[in-house]
Chain A
């Protein structure tokens, strides 16, 4: 599903190389986790895959279901099935959460040549999905993320994911700023979306989240590259010994 080969990325405005040859394959239906110390390039990878400005790809490729991701606008990547849950979801005053969701859902449907959802159909689906994430109607009516708590913002991200039904979900430190209960709720939301046709790339600092969202593969990223991959036990090792030993081991 997601194929990244030898990806090199630098900042557009500075001569600073951030990714230095990332190789990663996430097959359909699998959950992969990326862990790594601060500044290793995890968030940059998520931004480059979803098309944020400010980065220049100097070498390598990335594709989703064999579509070249790097050649597409962010909205085209979204329509192709890519979704990024933000570490810091953006507040948009004056735009209702429902309006935003409906605009996004219908824009993607339109881009894929599907019929747009009517107001009634949309409301029915969104209410159902919001309920399981414990998002009340007040949160749906409020402006996007404005005045939301940290937990509410992250649940709102998962609601967007549930509505947009992407093929490939990237979660960028979705656990940051969440208490135990909120993390469980978010993880349940993610687990409910797991299916043989959908893959996840979970970026996190901590093993905690992976207790709730069980990964098939864990990758360790350091200095712009994936330096080690393994099973869920790798995350436990990091939790126990920190990155120091691991990184020393791979040199």
Chain B
């Protein structure tokens, strides 16, 4: 898996001359009001040095083969006109609401930062302090996730993040924490960085919804302690984060559970990376996504890149990625399972599927397995196809109109990914939203 393009880009200032990318990086950094940082200062300084060494990615980097990093490299995003619209998703569920407007915490719109078994602060508020529990994690999981491939935008995030939420969970918290993003400025270039630590036996569900900015860069670092359970459900909807890159870095301890599900509906260019390291025996890590892309509203390009490392025995990992694409939309999946020496009895599974509703759309998949233990069960599958004609006919022969039959079959296609949401209420909310969205534009 040695990758010459990436290795080459690691050599800074080859021949003493700055590479074109260095100028781009300088311009990129110039456009950001870099925070000084309190407890994060060391992590930010380290990030600055690492970023200077690795530079921004180029189109020739293998890891960016299917997605052009240029829009993320640009100094500023294109300003975006949009209609401000409150997401009602999960509105009926009792949850702790944290509102971020253009990436800044809005205390007046949020619930009080308290709850049984929870210790919550915002990054901006906490960062004035010299010491904080999050200092052990901020930028640390991100740094660990830089091997073997570089993820420069995550480094940039550690360097530049002005706000985010820091959550320490000490008990079984039944009330989900809901990060609600809102947009105000048309040219908001948003960088947020969340840190979550679940202590032994703790439980938390983290929800993320709403439009983050004209361009967004989100990092979530999650440390799931022994026997802890963490659920993450994100919904990125139409006209939300037109241009977005996100990284979830997770470390999963003994007997712990990590589950992440992302719904993406439109957006012009999105890249979501999941980097999960299973360090304790008997742990479980699942990551799933349902993606609906319609290229008719401008460009649609959606890239899911996943890297799961098994470094312990008897662990289970599961990747389920489903993309429905039409009107010239592009769906990308790069997924890898690395089983380290000694990670015996690993059960690793990966499925990526593209459903193409027309000839102009494409789904590109790059599944990889790298296994250094001899007693493991790992499988992967990838398919790309159109709607099943027989199933279409079956539904229509029962009187279901064509447009409605397509909606049912799309939901059927996405079912495996949605099943990854354990909580029935949350899953039903997502399903209702999907159904509504699909039905409202079935004719296009």
Contacts and interface: CB of A to CB of B under 8 A. Distances in A.
Task: Answer yes or no: do A and B interact.
Answer: yes
B383 to A, nearest CB: 14
B355 to A, nearest CB: 12
B411 A94 contact: yes
A89 interface: yes
Interface in B370-403: 388-391, 393-402
Given A93-B412, A107-B401, A78 B396 contact: yes
Contacts of B399: 75, 78-79, 104-105, 107-108, 111, 164
Residue of B394, B409, B413 ringed by the most chain A CB atoms within 10 A: B394
Interface string B398-421: 111110110011011111101000
Residue of A74, A92, A93 ringed by the most chain B CB atoms within 10 A: A74
A105 B413 CA distance: 23
A51 B408 contact: no
A107 B400 contact: yes
Contact of A103 (B388, B393, B408): B408
A50 B397 contact: yes
A131 B413 CA distance: 30
Nearest to A79: B399
Contacts of A73: 396, 401-402
B401 A75 contact: yes
A76 to B, nearest CB: 9
B396 A94 contact: no
Contacts of A83: 397
Interface string A94-114: 110000100111011001000
A90 interface: yes
A103 B413 CA distance: 18
Contacts of B400: 75, 103-104, 107
A143 B413 CA distance: 12
A143 B419 CA distance: 13
A64 interface: no
B409 to A, nearest CB: 7
A121 B292 CA distance: 34
A212 to B, nearest CB: 24
A183 interface: no
B394 A95 contact: no
Nearest to A88: B390
Contacts of B416: 93-94
A93 B393 contact: no
Interface string A21-64: 00000000000000000000000000000111100000000000
B398 A78 contact: yes
Interface string A62-94: 000000000001110111000110100110111
A89 B393 CA distance: 11
A143 B415 CA distance: 10
Contact of B398 (A52, A53, A93, A160): A160
A90 B414 CA distance: 18
Interface of A: 50-53, 73-75, 77-79, 83-84, 86, 89-90, 92-95, 100, 103-105, 107-108, 111, 143, 160, 164
Q: 10 shortest A-B CB distances, which residue pairs?
A: A94-B415, A78-B399, A108-B399, A74-B396, A104-B398, A90-B394, A94-B412, A75-B396, A107-B399, A95-B412
Given A77-B397, A108-B398, 16 more contacts: A50-B397, A51-B393, A51-B396, A73-B396, A74-B393, A75-B397, A78-B397, A79-B399, A92-B395, A93-B415, A93-B416, A100-B395, A104-B395, A104-B400, A108-B399, A164-B398
12 contacts: A50-B397, A53-B393, A73-B402, A75-B397, A78-B398, A90-B390, A92-B394, A95-B408, A103-B400, A104-B400, A105-B399, A107-B399
